Amino acid sequence: MAESLIITGTSKQEKYESLLPQIKALVEGESDYIANISNIMSALKFGMNWFWVGVYFVKDLSPALSKGEGEIKKELVLGPFQGPIACTRIAFGKGVCGTSWKEKKTIIVEDVELFPGHIACSSLSKSEIVVPAFDKKGNVTLVLDVDSEHLATYDETDKHYLEQIVRIIEQL
């Protein structure tokens, strides 16, 4: 039986500092990729009390849909998440997630309505941060998407810690 998370501290940094070792401990001793990612999403959702936390995997389009070359033959497909139901597929370069994949970098959006091409899975989502994960060749394998019901929730502190969490996911 898994134990509950214990989050100490009041600042965002303190919460992440208490969460990180617990996330590492959660995945130690378990080799199943989806099980580990699922628990990390739950730890983030309930540890940080955010609206929506999940991953989108870079996957091959079915051959029938695939007309292009390179990344055009792939798309983001919803993976383990915590929160309301979400869009299942996102194209390369589309929305915040597709842009993070294309630009291979973390994107912080303070107001989703001001982000060109933002994909609104829920009208309650007001700000978000998306962090890409890479394979050893530098290809994006998935993006971690975190959404808030409040404006300007995410900043450089979130980028710092969420990138560390994504480094853990890359090692799974």
Segment lying near ligand SME (by CB under 6 A), choices 2-10, 13-21, 27-35, 118-126? 118-126
Packed helices 33-48 and 156-171: angle between N→C axes, nearest 10 degrees: 160
What's the min distance (Å) between Cβ of 117 and ligand SME? Answer: 7
Nearer to ligand SME, 22 or 141 (CB): 141
Nearest-approach distance from CB 14 to ligand SME, in angstroms: 27
Give dist(CA 93, CA 100) in Å, integer.
8
70, amino acid identity: G
Residue 172 in contact with ligand SME, rule: CB under 6 A: no
What 3 state SS string does 63-117 have?
CCCCCCCHHHHEEEEEEEEECCCCCCEEECCCHHHHHHHHHCCCEEECCHHHCCC
| Order of strands across the sheet that contains 52-60 | 89-91, 74-82, 52-60, 140-148, 127-134, 107-109
Judged by CB, which is closer to ligand SME: 18, or 122?
122
Residue 23 tokens read as 């996330």
Residue type, 58: V
Say whether residue 142 binds ligand SME (CB under 6 A): no
# binding residues, ligand SME (CB under 6 A): 14
| Token pair of 95 as six digits | 């929305």
| Residue 133 makes contact with ligand SME by CB under 6 A | no
Q: Binding to ligand SME (CB under 6 A): which residues in 43-102? A: 52, 86-87, 90, 95-97
126 sits near ligand SME (criterion: CB under 6 A): no
x/- site string to ligand SME, residues 146 to 165, per CB under 6 A? Answer: -x------------------
Nearer to ligand SME, 7 or 130 (CB): 130
Catalog residues that contact ligand SME under the rule CB under 6 A: 52, 86-87, 90, 95-97, 118-119, 121, 125, 128, 145, 147
